[in-house]
Structure 1
């Protein structure tokens, strides 16, 4: 059986403590709970111990990294473009 994994990497414009960043993380937590309810998300990996490239940690913004494993590509697509995530 094959699975589909998706890795997203980005950087917020502000530090983690900034209200806009806090709002982003709160929304992200809600979205991940919704993803878990689909039954199509097998695993979300915690990025806390991941070593990020030096160029990602330069500047003021907080780096953001997610890695999730899904049942298949269709599951990722359906979740990404519907519901709370959309």
Structure 2
């Protein structure tokens, strides 16, 4: 998790919070949060990086639509990150 960018971590959080979101749904969530447009050239390469790292699994809904889910490793990494953050930030 330490080697991910902030954007990649945000992708993990969005994927964890939705049930099998497709790329456009992830993009829309991040655009609301960042309050600016997220280009496909930024979104999909970063999703592919998370897949390559074994944190996210990519499935196929139909010929044009992929969906994304966290792997067990991805979920463990998010939990470890939350524990680490909790040492420093108490909300």
**Which has the higher relative contact order, 1 or 2, with Cα contacts under 8 A spaced 6 or more apart?**
1
Q: Which has the higher strand share?
A: 1
Q: Which has the higher helix share?
A: 2
Say which one has the larger Rg. Answer: 1
Task: Name the TM-score class by shorter chain.
Answer: 0.3 to 0.5
Q: Normalising by structure 2, report the TM-score.
A: 0.35
